[in-house]
Every structure is written in structure tokens, then in C-alpha cells.
Amino acid sequence: MGRVTARRRVHHVTTADVVARPETLVVEEPLEIRVDGKPITVTMRTPGSDVELAQGFLLTEGIVGGRDDILSVRYCRGATEDSSGYSQNTYNVLDVTLAPGVPAPDVDPTRNFYTTSSCGVCGKASLDAVRLISKHAPGDDPATVSAETLAGMPGKLRGEQKVFAATGGLHGAALFGTDGTVLVVREDIGRHNAVDKVVGWALENRRIPLSDTVLLVSGRASFELTQKAVMAGIPVLAAVSAPSSLAVDLAGQSGLTLVAFLRGDSMNVYTRPDRVTN
């Protein structure tokens, strides 16, 4: 498996001095995801939890609906060759084999599937399309969570972000029970990848739809992250930073509770405030 951190030399400059020193950086590498041998997407990610990442991506893109739709996930040999000409496994290509009877995705060769670490791929033309393909929209989920419990979640997430503590360069996503119990935390240089890893963990453990849970993200609440929460059946999405207008619109249409600016003991609740109790 690939490393998650690397050491590089940096010149630290102040108005009074220049000091050369080593610094720990987060690793960014491409991961190609294939379905039944056919390339679907390439994403720039931090190595680790790749199988979860692939499964979470397929669920949040509507390609699979549950763990039974996936027969296997395995690393493929990459493009590099050793001195004997043997193709080496680079751990940067994953092939997902769908279960018999599960339709393969209709891949448009003209669509650019390459994604950076800063923004995900949204293959949906409109909010209505996301709502229609979601099998697990959380509108009927009766979950509630107290404001006090929500306020304590960012600190718990930061406490679990070991690589962020060493590099300062990773996004985090955490899944909580509505009682504040930490279920899983994942880090990645891409915020959408961190969420896909969390969703993939839930898929692998047959916990989809993720009823009675809260997804916390370390940055803003974008349309892509809201889409992923809806597709996984998560009733509450919380972010420490701002939401986008499209994220709020999608949350409202899908019955998702969207909380943002979750800082200290205050927060803004943009949709379905009935799930947040005092």
C-alpha cells in the first residue's frame, strides 16, 4: 500500500531569517476505479481505505444500491514494469466486479471522469435527478439529535484526525450515532473522498441506509457532499463551514437536515430543523 505522508525540504522564511528544514506532507496519488474491467473514474486521493473509497463512490453515484450488488473489489496490476518486463501492482488501480444481474454503468466516453482532490464528480444534471435515483433518501427518517451533542462532534473529529495533526493538509469526515457515538472517521486530501470512504465503510458493513446517524465534514457543505449524504440515507449532515445554495436546495428537496457553521455552541440549521432538539 502507498504511504499517506512524505518528507520534503522546505525553506521557512520570516522577515528576519530563512531556515531550511524537513516537513511532513500528505501524499496525493491517483486512483483509477474500474467496474468489470472498464475504467469509470480517476480520482486524486490519499492512499488508504481504497476499497471503501471505491464502494462509497459507486453507491453515491447510483451505480450500486447495496453490498450485495458487489461481488468483489481487487487491486489490479498497474502500468509500471520491472526490469524483466513484468507489470507491477502499483495499488493505484481498483477493479470492482458487480454481482450477476447488476447492470454495468453506461459510460459516456466523451465525459471527463478525471477528478481533482478538491472537488468531486457530479454526474447528475439536476437536483431532481439526484432525488429520483436515490433509493435511500432520508425524508422519512425519524432521527433527532440534540444541539449539545452536535456541538461536541467537531472536537471528537479533530481528536481522531491523526494524519491532519502531522500535516495540516487533510479533510476529515466522521459518522456519528445521534447519541454522539463515533462510528467511523476517515481522512483524505479530497473532502469528497473522505465522505466516500465513510460511506464505503457503511456499505461494507451492510449499514446502508444510514438511518439515525450524523455525517460531519471538516469543511463546507457542497452540493457533492450533500448528494452523497442523500444517496447513503443519512438524515443529518453537519459542516463546520458554510453551505452552498445548491446544497441547501438539495437537502430541502430530499428531507435531509443540513447544519452548517457548527462552531462552539452555535450552528445554523438550514433544512428540517425538527431533527435538532435543545
Q: Which residues are designated catalytic?
A: 119
Q: What is the distance between the alpha carbons of residues 201 and 53, in angstroms, rounded to a whole number?
A: 8
**DSSP code for 135:** S
Q: Which three cell numbers stand for residue 152?
A: 461536541
Q: What is the distance between the alpha carbons of residues 100 and 115, in angstroms, rounded to a whole number?
A: 29
The vertex-195 CA angle with 123 and 170, nearest 5°, equals 115
Q: Is 255 helix (H, G, I), strand (E, B) or coil?
A: coil
Sign of CA dihedral 60, 61, 64, 70: negative
User: Is 198 exposed, middle or buried, given 0-12, 13-18 or 19+ CB atoms closer than 10 A?
Assistant: buried
Give residue 202's Cα distance to chain centre.
12
Q: What string of DSSP letters covers 177-210? A: ETTS-EEEEEEESSHHHHHHHHHHHHHHTT--S-
Q: What is the distance between the alpha carbons of residues 224 and 232, in angstroms, rounded to a whole number?
A: 12
Give residue 131's Cα distance to chain centre.
19
Sign of CA dihedral 126, 31, 137, 273: negative
